[in-house]
Amino acid sequence: MNNTQYIFFSGKGGVGKTTMACATTVYCAEKGSKTLIITTDPASNLADVFETEIGHKITPLGVPNLWGMEIDPDKATEEYRESILAPMREVMPDDVIKVLEEQFNSPCTTEIASFDRFVDFIAGDSSNKGEQYDIVIFDTAPTGHTIRLLELPLDWSRHIEESAKGSGNTCIGPVANIQANKKKYDEAINLLADPNRTKFVFVLQPDKTSIYETKRSSDELKTIGVKNIELIVNGILPEEVCENVFFKKRYEMQQKHLKKINETFPVPKKHVYQRDGEIKGIARVKNISNSLYEYDRDVAGFSFAHESGSALKTSFDTLDSASVMNLMTPQGQTKSIFFTGKGGVGKTTISCVTAFHLASRGHKTLLLTTDPASHIGEVLEQKIEDTVKKVEGVGNLWAVIIDQERAVEEYKERILDDASKKYSDDMLVAIREELESPCTEEMAAFDKFMTYAESDEYDVIVFDTAPTGHTLRLLELPFDYSEQVGLMVATTEKSEGVKGDTQKRLDRIINRMKDPERSVFAFVFYPESTPVIEAYRAMMDLKEAGIPTQFVVANQVLMPEYCTNEYFTRRRMMQEKYVSHAKELFNLPMIIMPLADDEIRGIDSIKRAAEELFGTKPVKKDKEAAK
């Protein structure tokens, strides 16, 4: 009998999900449980934490009883495609197989394939080669995408059931061939809702945005039946190192949020201090593991030994605000600016600050988010909706968020309205059935994205994108989807006209994204190893797609005048190392956003941040504040 326990780790990007998942994995393995950790994040850094190559296979991680796997979307897609097509090749003519192969090239296949591989591990499928684990730990993508992943079993089970009553076809294959999948998805639904088998751990930090995101996501989880929820509050500043005014203010801010967390979440909680160095390698992961599970509270060893170095640099001489402003300034035509990077590195804040700055220079600017867990409204302290709205208190600035549910309804309505003018009733029935597929959500969001990406109404459009793995997926869609337009009606002659019109539209958007005069891509990172490495990998992926990166932003950099003790001196030294490494690695213009003593919220705070980020006012060096 399979009595495997399942633990999911999720939370807002950058809060330390992977670290906490790895620490829990090591703890379970050392206690004698046969443990597997799997990442569903397309921009995973699991291998970086364990300092070993993992990939799309179950791999030993250097600790007895411990294995890991990184689900690779491309390999999962190929495995899924073959699992459906292999039995059909024996009985179907070549021309039918060719049509099916084309169908499996559709963009939604990647999502369902990765999801299907994920469900295999929940349902104990034989694809795991008969291995039984005591504990399976999932290190998931940031919350917006995790909720989507966990909703999919119910969505796909329902879609397969409805399709069986209708045409017997789905966008992922004939119902007859995927009935076994429905059984697997139903089992996954039951396991997710079983508090004795499944636990969901939210990792958050003591800040307003993290609390908001955790509350929203935990409420959504409850609607799909997940009952067993716990919290890990990470990144807490130790009081004894916050003696100067700057860090004392940040400490007091965190304490206020810790109180709010206790009031908001009546669930078990653990607390972890911020370390003064990176969490990489088994020894440091064990340090976190001990803090989580061996001590009553995290009081021991919050400091790591760090290599000694010279005195702190007073500034970075590699910055180039003028070059960055020149790159972002429109030259007679709309310029799109895409900010991306690892989850939690501050893309939303940097996007808001940049949009404000460009608007204040007289450019008609639209701020838009493609991140399902976005909080641009929290940063602006204004309600932002799925229709373009003027930002109060700022001239020339508008903002909008792509609402997934509304985008789906608008997309369905538009497709059906257009199809009703061209196709028979039988064809309309097939199209309606196809539109009920969960894949429609991704295509609808992309379609909405295209509407803004091709707009010439603004001087500048600033895109606050989802974390890197999902952003790359979004940007790959034009290239995938351009081969699939009109697929639902490809059997009719009239579809050629539809494909032609859509192809032209896609070509325009692709060309605009590839044109450095029209589109600017920038990566945001913290000056730490994992965010820098992930940004560089993603930059190479973009380059392969023909899209150049133009500049980078180092965020939350400690100013040396505030680093008056050993703890913060070590953190600043670590940051200096990675700022220099990033400058050499990217070989691009770089700007720096200093760590603020409070959260960047509201127009006044955004204005001060813009002055510091773009060098329109010297960074304040208050010697008294450093005492």
Residue where the block lists tokens 């397969």: 160
**Helix, strand counts (H, E) of the chain:** 21, 18
pLDDT level of residue 150 (50, 70, 90 thresholds): low
Q: Taking residues 343-355, report their average pLDDT.
A: 89
Residue 102: predicted pLDDT: 60
Q: What percent of the chain has pLDDT over 70?
A: 71
Where is pLDDT greater, at 273 or 309? 273
Report yes or no: 243 and 565 within 8 Å, Cβ to Cβ. yes
Residue 378: predicted pLDDT: 86
In this prediction the pTM is 0.75
* Stated length of the chain: 627
Pairing of strands 460-464, 335-340: parallel
For helices 73-89 and 94-103, angle between their N-to-C axes, nearest 10 degrees: 160
Residue 444: predicted pLDDT: 76
Residue 388: predicted pLDDT: 93
d(CA 447, CA 279): 40
Q: Taking residues 23-46, report their average pLDDT.
A: 86
Walk across the sheet containing 35-39 and list its strands: 59-60, 66-70, 35-39, 135-139, 5-10, 198-204, 229-236, 269-273
d(CA 398, CA 462): 10
For helices 347-360 and 603-613, angle between their N-to-C axes, nearest 10 degrees: 90
Where is pLDDT greater, at 414 or 200? 200
Residue 344: predicted pLDDT: 73
Where is pLDDT greater, at 95 or 574? 574
Instruction: Give whole-number Cα distances, 568 to 128, 237, 557, in Å.
Output: 45, 11, 11
Amino acid sitting at position 334:
T
pLDDT level of residue 72 (50, 70, 90 thresholds): confident
Residue 151: predicted pLDDT: 55
Q: Taking residues 335-362, report their average pLDDT.
A: 90
Predicted confidence (pLDDT) at residue 326 exceeds the cutoff of 80: yes
Long-range CB pairs of 265-269, under 8 A, 24+ apart, other chains included: 265/214, 265/215, 265/218, 265/231, 267/229, 267/230, 267/231, 268/230, 268/231, 269/230, 269/231, 269/232, 269/233
Report yes or no: 418 and 426 within 8 Å, Cβ to Cβ. no
Where is pLDDT greater, at 164 or 431? 431
Angle CA 188–192–193, to nearest 5: 120
Q: Taking residues 11-38, report their average pLDDT.
A: 90
DSSP helix/strand/coil, 590: strand
Domain 5-293 CATH class label: alpha beta
Structure tokens at 515: 């044109």
d(CA 152, CA 155): 5
d(CA 368, CA 161): 37
Report yes or no: 21 and 37 within 8 Å, Cβ to Cβ. yes
Q: What percent of the chain has pLDDT over 90?
A: 31
Report yes or no: 41 and 141 within 8 Å, Cβ to Cβ. yes
pLDDT level of residue 127 (50, 70, 90 thresholds): very low
Answer yes or no: same fold for 5-293 and 321-626.
Answer: yes
Predicted confidence (pLDDT) at residue 567 exceeds the cutoff of 60: yes
Among the residue ranges 141-150, 372-381, 604-613, the one predicted with the least confidence is: 141-150
Predicted confidence (pLDDT) at residue 372 exceeds the cutoff of 80: no
Residue where the block lists tokens 């909405």: 448
Q: Taking residues 494-513, report their average pLDDT.
A: 66
Report yes or no: 165 and 493 within 8 Å, Cβ to Cβ. no
Residue 494: predicted pLDDT: 47
Q: Taking residues 593-604, report their average pLDDT.
A: 91
Amino acid sitting at position 190:
N
pLDDT level of residue 618 (50, 70, 90 thresholds): very low
pLDDT level of residue 476 (50, 70, 90 thresholds): low
Residue where the block lists tokens 């220099």: 580
Residue 322: predicted pLDDT: 87
Q: How many CB atoms lie within 10 A of CB 595?
A: 16
Predicted confidence (pLDDT) at residue 399 exceeds the cutoff of 90: yes
Residue 623: predicted pLDDT: 41
Instruction: Give whole-number Cα distances, 516 to 82, 326, 328, 519, 588, in Å.
Output: 39, 12, 10, 5, 14
Rg of the chain over CA atoms, in angstroms?
Answer: 25
Residue 366: predicted pLDDT: 96
Residue 495: predicted pLDDT: 46
Q: Taking residues 158-169, report their average pLDDT.
A: 55
Amino acid sitting at position 306:
H
Walk across the sheet containing 365-369 and list its strands: 389-390, 397-401, 365-369, 460-464, 335-340, 519-525, 551-557, 590-594
Among the residue ranges 106-115, 225-234, 252-261, 340-349, the one predicted with the least confidence is: 106-115
Where is pLDDT greater, at 61 or 174? 61
**Residue 34, burial from CB neighbour count under 10 angstroms (0-12, 13-18, 19+):** middle
Where is pLDDT greater, at 380 or 42? 380
Residue 143: predicted pLDDT: 44
Pairing of strands 389-390, 397-401: antiparallel
**Residue 310, burial from CB neighbour count under 10 angstroms (0-12, 13-18, 19+):** exposed
69 forms beta bridges with 38
Computed over every residue of the chain, the mean pLDDT equals 78
Instruction: Give whole-number Cα distances, 473 to 236, 466, 477, 509, 524, in Å.
Output: 33, 10, 6, 15, 18
Structure tokens at 433: 């059935």
Residue 414: predicted pLDDT: 78
For helices 439-453 and 404-420, angle between their N-to-C axes, nearest 10 degrees: 90
Q: Taking residues 251-274, report their average pLDDT.
A: 94
d(CA 375, CA 126): 41
Residues in contact with 326: Cβ distance below 8 Å, sequence separation at least 6, in sequence order: none
Selection from 139-148, 332-341, 499-508 with the highest mean pLDDT: 332-341
Residues in contact with 294: Cβ distance below 8 Å, sequence separation at least 6, in sequence order: none
Selection from 65-74, 328-337, 540-549 with the highest mean pLDDT: 328-337
Residue 300: predicted pLDDT: 42
Among the residue ranges 355-359, 396-400, 500-504, 619-623, the one predicted with the least confidence is: 619-623
Predicted confidence (pLDDT) at residue 609 exceeds the cutoff of 70: yes
- Structural domain spans, the chain: 5-293, 321-626
What CATH number was assigned to the domain covering residues 321-626? 3.40.50.300
Angle CA 507–513–515, to nearest 5: 100
Dihedral, CA of residue 336, residue 342, residue 347 and residue 348, to nearest 10: 110
